[in-house]
Amino acid sequence: MPVTETRVGIGFDVHRFEEGRPLVLGGVRIDHPRGLTGWSDADALLHAIADAVLGAAALGDIGRHFPPSDPAWRDADSRELLRAAVTLVARDGWSVANVDGTVLAEAPRIAPHVEGMRREIAEACRTGPDRISVKATTMEGMGFVGREEGIASLAVVMLARETGA
Ligand code: MG
């Protein structure tokens, strides 16, 4: 009888706002005066999800697999990075059972973009949008998020695989 084995992983990421950069979150380009800066396209939500995918399979983190020193990932589309993380865990038989992500941002409003993000994340995770949750909260004006210095994201991912028992 096949048995479904599951694992859970957690991810966190943060990127700083910078003038003149496009804002990309959850694989969606958002119209905003400033974008996020850093490694690749600085998509803090997709980075948190990719870290949670790798964490669930105990395969380290995205810094280990996709190092910022590697020019291949400079200004890269983070959907490619998430696809690569999902491909890595698939080698061990894992598939994404569900994703629950939270964006911490004072601005812009995330709600109008949630459905687009769910579709992008689902495609990168090789699953359906019904298994992908994206939520958002402000920080009530407190801390670096409250001062609009950057955007942070949290994610939990469950992986599943069938094992013979
Ligand atoms: Mg990052």
What string of pLDDT tens digits covers the 165 residues of the chain?
889 999 999 999 999 999 999 999 999 999 999 999 988 999 999 999 999 999 999 999 999 999 888 888 888 999 999 999 999 999 999 999 999 999 999 999 999 999 999 999 999 999 999 999 999 999 999 999 999 999 999 999 999 999 876
The whole-number pLDDT of residue 112 equals 97
State the pTM of this model.
Answer: 0.97
145, exposed or middle or buried, with CB in 10 Å at 0-12, 13-18, 19+? buried
Given 3-state DSSP classes, what are the helix, strand and coil percentages for the chain, each rounded to the nearest 5?
Answer: 35, 35, 30
The whole-number pLDDT of residue 82 equals 98
Domains and CATH numbers, the chain: 2-164 (3.30.1330.50)
The whole-number pLDDT of residue 69 equals 85
140, exposed or middle or buried, with CB in 10 Å at 0-12, 13-18, 19+? exposed
Q: Could you tell me the distance, in angstroms and rounded to a whole number, from the CA of residue 147 to the centre of ligand 1?
A: 19
Q: Could you tell me the distance, in angstroms and rounded to a whole number, from the CA of residue 48 to the centre of ligand 1?
A: 7
From CA 50, how far away is CA 82, in angstroms rounded?
Answer: 5
The whole-number pLDDT of residue 165 equals 66
Q: Could you tell me the distance, in angstroms and rounded to a whole number, from the CA of residue 162 to the centre of ligand 1?
A: 31
Q: Could you tell me the distance, in angstroms and rounded to a whole number, from the CA of residue 15 to the centre of ligand 1?
A: 6
